[in-house]
Each structure stands twice: as structure tokens, then as C-alpha cells.
Structure 1
Amino acid sequence: MIVMRIAVLSDSHGALANISRALEIAHPIDLICFAGDGCRDIERWLSEDSCDECGGDYGQGCMSGGSNGWGRERDDSRSHARSRSRIMTEIVLGNCDFAGDYPLEVVFPAGGMRILMTHGHYYNVKSGYQRLVYRAEELQADAVIFGHTHIPEYTQLNGIWLINPGSIS
């Protein structure tokens, strides 16, 4: 197993100061996973420092999310280190994110695991996790990071870890 420090955040809803505080406490971080509803907040936090590779121009070539919509997958060789101590970043859109060039879900490797990240609203997570677990099984994911409920959750169903950081707002 590969050891990584991963910051999992979701549902900031404008609370940029809370993001800053949480990430300062968690420092050093290898990967930030933002599960939607506040994509502009995490963008602002990331842009407070410049990216060595693009000089601070966080355009299509530098944004982690891309515009591929559902089912985008990434391997380590295509991930892009950006901003603040070159922290790797994965971001997905939530139901309250009305702008942003990010997918609704993403599958990526981290810490020797295959992780599915989505906001959760398309999987009706407020009523249960079965649809989310089915999707994870379909994509052969070891873990799912999601938000939407604003309630922290860390549990395992059918051998798949379900991780919801709750709302940081």
C-alpha cells in the first residue's frame, strides 16, 4: 500500500476561510479531493499561489477536472501538479456548482486504491448508498468519495469504502 496524505473536502458553499483553515491544519498534503458544491471556493484557494508549470494560468490545460463529463478516468502519469506546494487536486461538480469545467464524477488512483469521486446527488445519497455502491462496483473502485448530505460518513458496504467529509461550510 502507498501512504498518502489526502485532504477530502466537500460542500463549502462560499466558506473559503474554512477551506484555508482545514488545509493549513492538514498540511503537508499529497492530494486534495473536493467533492463539489463550492468549486469556485477551492479554485480561489488554489489560485492564491501560482503554478510553476503554467505561471498561474489555470486554464483548460491546467485544471484537474477537464470537461469530459461522466466517466473520466486518470492515471498518475496524466495528473497535473498545481499550485500550493504542487498539491495534486481532483474536483467534481456538485448540484450547486453552476459554473466550472469539471466532471460529475472521476475515477483515479491514490494510495494504491482505485477511487470514484462524485458529489452524490445523481445517486440519491440522501436516501441510501446502494446506487453509489453499484456504480463503484461497476467501475471496480475500492472507495467512493462523495458529499451532498453535509453529514460526515466513513463506512464500508460490499467491501467498498464510502467516505463523506460532511460540509466544511
Structure 2
Amino acid sequence: MKLVVMSDSHGDRETVKAVSALPADAIFHCGDSELSFDDPVLHNMYRVRGNCDRDRQFSPSVLVDVQGKKILAVHGHEHDVRSSLMGLYYSAKELGADVVLFGHSHLYGAEMKDGILFLNPGSTVQPRGGKKATYAVVEWEETVRVLFKNMQHETVDEKEIKNS
């Protein structure tokens, strides 16, 4: 399974267009696109509402099946992800999610907890913490490989996580 995940693009249509054109089994935008729900650049992806999104057509979360994996996408502000991932962890357990995608903090990272992959792709335009602007590519096979890529599509960081 291959996923492309972005978040916190804050109105940058060109970046969303470029990242969403990449080949994947599914593409996700984890909120704060600041585009309208009906914007054509968002049509080929799952998308959720972030704290800066004003269009009420966005759902606060989506739960979808991609190649037998349940994927939960949220923005993260309603789960207080800047303080802890515990709120997301409990939501994931309750929903039976295999993967949780979220944004909001503008900091990329990935970790596996109790067989659930938690992934923040970072921000495509406003990174924090001295990190680069990024999106993520998840390759889930025998192992889980997460690539954090810059806007030139170069890998700036990667994590390989044993699939438990």
C-alpha cells in the first residue's frame, strides 16, 4: 500500500496540486488547506477540516479502508496533538484504525504504537521547529517505510518501522 499525505498547506494551491499528482493508492490532506471543499485540486483526495478551514463541508475526520487497512485522518487540533497523542490513540483504538494521519503542529514525525501507525506529514508551506517543508509517503509492506519529502520531492528524512 502506498499513501501520500500532506497537511497545513495554508492556501498554497500549487503545492497541493503538485503533491496530489503523485502516484498512490490514496492521497490525504490533513486539514488547513484553506481552500474550498469544492476546489478541483482537492477532488482526488480524502480531506478533513483544520482549525483554519472555513468551509463547513469539510468533515472533522474520515475513516476509510485502503487495501485492507483502516485509515483515520484528522487535523489534530480537536485531539490536542501539540500536547500528547493519547487522545488520538484512544480514538484509533475505539475505531479499529491501523493508521492515524494528522497535522496541526507543522512538525513531521511517525511512530508505531500497539500496531497503529501515527503520522504527521509536517507542513508543506509553514514548517516549525527548524524542519523543512514536507509531505509524507507511506509504503506499507512487510515493514512500514515513511519518507518525508520536500517540495522538490527529495527525501529529507525517513523512518522504517517494523510492522508488528
Q: Which residue of 2 aligns with 1:21?
A: 18
Query: Is residue 99 from structure 1 mapped to residue 55 from structure 2 by the alignment?
Result: yes
Which amino acid letter does the alignment assign opposite residue 32 of structure 2?
A: D
Which amino acid letter does the alignment assign opposite residue 10 of structure 1?
A: S
Give 1:41 shift. 6.9
Alpha-carbon displacement from aligned partner over 1:21-72 (angstroms, at most 9, x marks no partner) = 3334xx223321111001517853527xxxxxxxxxxxxxxxxxxxxxxxxx
Give 1:111 shift. 2.6
Q: Which residue of 1 aligns with 2:73?
A: 117
Give the Cα separation in 1 of the matches to 2:70 and 2:11: 30
Q: Point out the structure with max Rg over C-alpha.
A: 1
Q: How large is the RMSD of aligned CA atoms in angstroms?
A: 2.0
Alpha-carbon displacement from aligned partner over 1:107-128 (angstroms, at most 9, x marks no partner) = 1101321111110001100001
Give the Cα separation in 2 of the matches to 1:126 and 1:154: 14
Structure number with the higher helix fraction is: 1
Gaps of 5+ in 1: 48-81
Query: Is residue 155 from structure 1 mapped to residue 150 from structure 2 by the alignment?
Result: no
Q: Which residue of 1 aligns with 2:28?
A: 33
Q: Which residue of 2 aligns with 1:59?
A: none
- TM-score scaled by length of structure 2: 0.69
Kept in 2: contact 1:13–1:37 (CA 8 A) = yes
Q: Which residue of 1 aligns with 2:83?
A: 127
CA 1:19 to 1:32, structure 2 compared with 1: closer, same or farther past 3 Å?
A: same
Alpha-carbon displacement from aligned partner over 1:49-106 (angstroms, at most 9, x marks no partner) = xxxxxxxxxxxxxxxxxxxxxxxxxxxxxxxxx5xxxx4x211100000114021011
Q: Secondary structure at the match of 1:154?
A: strand
Give the Cα separation in 2 of the matches to 1:104 and 1:43: 16
Alpha-carbon displacement from aligned partner over 1:4-25 (angstroms, at most 9, x marks no partner) = x32111100012222233334x
Q: Secondary structure at the match of 1:12?
A: coil
Q: Secondary structure at the match of 1:20?
A: helix
Residue in structure 1 matching 2:64, options 108, 123, 130: 108
Q: How does 1:33-112 map to 2 (within 5 A)?
A: 33-40=28-35, 43-46=38-41, 87=44, 89-112=45-68
Give the Cα separation in 2 of the matches to 1:116 and 1:148: 15
> How many aligned residue pairs are there?
125
Q: Secondary structure at the match of 2:39?
A: helix
Kept in 2: contact 1:39–1:91 (CA 8 A) = no
Give the Cα separation in 2 of the matches to 1:29 and 1:162: 19
CA 1:41 to 1:103, structure 2 compared with 1: closer, same or farther past 3 Å?
A: closer
Give the Cα separation in 1 of the matches to 2:63 and 2:16: 23
